Amino acid sequence: MAFTKSLITAAAALVVSGTALADLTIGVSLPLTGPASGLGIPMGNQIKLWPTSIAGEKLKVIVLDDATDPTNGVKNAKRFVTEDKVDLMMGSAATPVAIPMAAVAAEAETVQLAFSPAVLAAGKDGWTFRLPQSNSVMAHAMVALMKKQGVKTVGFLGYTDAYGESWLKDFTAEAEKNGIKVIATERFARSDTSVTAQALKLTSANPDAMLIVASGSGAAMPHMAIVDRGYKGKIYQTHAAASRDLMRVGGKAVEGAYVVSGPAVIAEQLPDSHPSKKVAVEFVSQYEKAYGAGSRNQFAGHAYDAILVLDKAVPIALKKAKPGTREFRVALRDALDSIGRTVVAHGVLNWTKDDHWGFTNETGVMLKVVNGDWKVE
């Protein structure tokens, strides 16, 4: 609570002091409370570490809490464009909140940097740029390792929700290109008491590898069920499972699992050849200096990346117009549309007019669980 208050006061102070007309105004809507607060709070922490100016323009940052509620997110977005007259908005960290915000952004012709992998209908994301990686980029890294290990057949065990569905789609497409077949597909829900039956069916199909699509601690139960059935092949997990909760709940059973992850949280372990290594190390050391060792997380990384992107795009936009005008907002969008290869903590971005997801295939990193810790594969 104290944190939220201090953010609000900070925002209010900025509003009061921000009289200079040419300030660059950013409206940020974050889930500081509610179910997605675990994502929003670290982002808020990173925003406190933002620089005070970009390309010589003073930054005016307004942070509002959307409480993980789409209605609040829309309200915040409307406030940003009508009252605060922002030059761009950011957020939200929760996908269901970010999606309706995109409509407001498009209507007001204001750039939105989404902190969540919001899937929008074709043509609706003209003003929305996403900072998290898409599943297909992650699937690319995973399939590359499978190919190297000689995996030919894969069994799929995933959530019966949008996350499981989109992974199945993206993974199958990527795998088929590389001659890998998904030979069995089973589903489960996070709250299921048992996945024994699914594990039985998958192990009797006996694929070379299993892919489990689940998040956090929910990824451990299916993994243990498959190991329990005596499966000896390789087991893969997605980036939603790339948290310590997997080892906390799974213990010895998840030993040897392959997990795909973004580069930000494993900065020091990245091979020197990984393009994001330098930036990721900078992010991690800055964040942990402020919030203590081990406090790093992928969500703060998105907030860090937002500034890296603006550092590159704002100077280009400034050549065409001054902040606070419609011309500037259009120029900013055009600058982001043609941003070119940009290295950020979470990988390598390359937004184009037709692709507002933008992470290149160099992004995903494969980890292996060794002795209850991550090891880069």
Partner 1 sequence: MDLSIVGILLLDGITNGAVYALLGLATVLVFTVTRVIFIPQGEFVAYGALTLAIFQTGKVPGTVWLLLLMALLAAVMDVRLTWQHTRNAPKALKAGVFTLLLPVVVAGLSIWAAPRQFPLLVQALLTVGVVTAFGPLVYRLAYQSLADASSLTLLIVSVGVHFAMTGLGLLFFGAEGFRNPSFWDARFNLGPVAVTGQAVIIVGVSLALIGLLWQFFEHTLYGKALRATAVNRLGARLMGISSHAAGQSTFAMAALIGALSGLLIGPTTTVFYDSGFLIGLKGFVAAVIGGLHSYPVAAVGALFVGLVEAFGSFWASAFKEVIVFTLILPILVWRSMAGGHSEEH
Residues that bind partner 1 (CB under 8 A): 35, 38, 160, 186-198, 200-201, 204, 216-218, 220-221, 245, 249
Closest separation between CB of residue 224 and partner 1, Å? 8
Q: Which is nearer to partner 1, 91 or 218 (CB)?
A: 218
- The H or E element containing residue 101 is helix 95-107
User: Rounded distance, CA 60 to CA 305, Å?
Assistant: 18
Do 120 and 342 form a contact (C-beta atoms < 8 A)? no
Minimum CB separation of residue 67 from partner 1 in Å reads 13
Asked if 239 and 138 count as a contact pair (C-beta separation under 8 A), the reply is yes
Instruction: Give me the least distance between CB of 160 and partner 1, in Å please.
Output: 6
Under 8 Å between Cβ of 118 and 95: yes
Smaller CB separation from partner 1, 115 or 159:
159
CA separation (Å) from 54 to 24, 32, 57?
8, 25, 5
The residue whose two tokens read 């406190």 is 48
CB of 247 to partner 1, least distance (A): 12
- Residue 133 has φ and ψ, to the nearest 5°, of -75, 150
When the beta carbons of 103 and 249 are compared against partner 1, the nearer one is 249
In whole angstroms, how close is the CB of 245 to partner 1 at the nearest point? Answer: 5
DSSP string of 69-103?
A: -HHHHHHHHHHHHHTS--SEEEE-SSHHHHHHHHH
Nearer to partner 1, 108 or 195 (CB): 195
Interior CA angle at 180 toward 174 and 185, to 5°? 85
Q: Which is nearer to partner 1, 2 or 21 (CB)?
A: 2
The least distance separating partner 1 from the CB of residue 72, rounded to whole angstroms, comes to 17
Between 177 and 244, CB nearer to partner 1: 244
